Amino acid sequence: MTTVAIVGAGPAGLRAAEQIVAAGLRPVLIDEAPRIGGQIYRQPPPALQRPPRALYGFAAPRAQALFERWAALQPQIDHRPETLVWQIEGRTLHLLQQGRPGTLQADALLLATGATDRVLPFPGWTLPGVFTLGAAQVLLKAQAALLGPRVVFAGSGPLLYLVAWQYQQAGGAVQAVLDSAPPAAPRRALPALLSRPSLALQGALLLARLRRAGVPVRRGVRLLRAEGDGRVQRLHWQQGAQVQATDCDAVAFGHGLRSETQLADLAGCAFDWDAIDEAWLPRCDAQGRSSVAGVYLAGDGAAIRGADAAENAGARAGQALLADLQRPSPLPPPPALPSHERWRHAIKALAPLPADWAAQAPDELMVCRCEEITAGELRACVRDAGALELNRLKALTRIGMGRCQGRMCGAAAARLLAQAANVPLAEVGRLRSQPPVKPVPIAALALTAPPAAAVPAEERDD
């Protein structure tokens, strides 16, 4: 029996599963969440159910269509919710399934691992009440709860405006939206944004609705510091020569999204530098085939393109997987969507990462919360130990060795290293992934450890 494993039950993973089922196979669909949908279509527990329009806004029709397809497919899929893939060795997946360790041997593996926040920290970001944009959205969608009654949203990218509007709709008092992108960025990005006019219109409507609701929207902002007694109470920021402070109970911030690539790394996939994302991404062709035979990539885990592109990529990768198994899909191939690459360029122009972030980061800035490593310590390591590569910096300072395994601190550490060494960002390399990609009980590690060598009787203490 052929075992196809799909990691990730968001738009890409679900569309891939649809292809696999149509070919007469029963895929194993693995996801950390209790219900399907991924981050963009995250579902609350049944007891906290809310109308789709309230949860997903403009994307409600697509979400409902995806859920309806899932309802028809579910009996033909081995769905494993609340399951973490924490290690991949060849085609063996090491799992933590609802707290129980186990393994799965797959004949083909499709990774649709999605994305997470890109964090460029600022002084005070470790205060209670400061969250990433993604965390703020998870709390709202999954638990129908707000970070606080008065929230400031800061950073850059489309998610900034989307989450701010979702909070405004849910009854939160959005104190301000502070965008680090230059004021002229929307005008420069407009020609490329029109490659997908419906999405561009949705973004313009979000901005207009926020302003109509009286929410201050500021562009060209630099975050100076968050402060408060025991938790965040105000956020200091600068726009041009003007320095201001906004009182708040919570801050949600982030600079767009970064692909979750750790499992692709453990699966042995080759990586290439991507100038648009300013990150190392796993190599794959237009059909989702990676550099490793039998391993396929789809969705935001391969490159950030959005939910509709993720669905398309999932269907393509599913068809490629079936073709390689010599079990072609009976479903028609998804249409080519060449505008997706232009859209990536548009988002980069609309929400460029702050080019001077590393140069302006003070030495006392906490970069790695897990290991409590500051920007000054990283700079000193470059200066005094000559660390010019990210894994060397990791070995000498422990940056990226904590619970997040570099998810939160990796992007910032790479920028600080490049700035301190005066080299292009691409030259400092990327953090190599190590299992477990997320914390697991010791019992799970014990199951994967090689058996201890037998000790001769004459050498035993007993």
Q: How confident is the model at residue 334 (pLDDT cuts 50, 70, 90)?
A: confident
Distance CA 431, CA 452 (A): 30
For CA atoms 188, 189, 193, 195, give the dihedral sign. Answer: positive
For the beta sheet containing 295-297, the strands, ordered from the edge strand earlier in sequence to the opposite edge, are 78-80, 28-30, 4-7, 108-111, 295-297
Distance CA 214, CA 221 (A): 19
For CA atoms 412, 414, 420, 425, give the dihedral sign. Answer: negative
Can you give the pLDDT at residue 449? Answer: 58
Distance CA 397, CA 407 (A): 16
Structure tokens at 149: 């009654």
Q: Is 299 helix (H, G, I), strand (E, B) or coil?
A: helix
Distance CA 437, CA 87 (A): 7
Distance CA 389, CA 430 (A): 8
Domains in the chain (CATH in brackets) are: 4-116+258-345 (3.50.50.60), 119-255 (3.50.50.60), 357-428 (1.10.10.1100)
Contacts of residue 228, defined as CB under 8 A and 6 or more positions apart, other chains included, come to 124, 127, 129, 234
Over residues 144-183, the pLDDT tens digits come to 899 999 999 999 999 999 999 999 999 999 999 999 999 9
Please answer whether residues 17 and 318 qualify as being in contact, where contact means their C-beta atoms are separated by less than 8 angstroms: yes
Over residues 63-73, the pLDDT tens digits come to 999 999 999 99
Mean pLDDT value across residues 237-259? 96
pTM: 0.93
- 249 against 98, higher pLDDT: 249
Is residue 451's pLDDT more than 70?
A: no
| Beta strand pairing call for 217-218 and 221-227 | unpaired
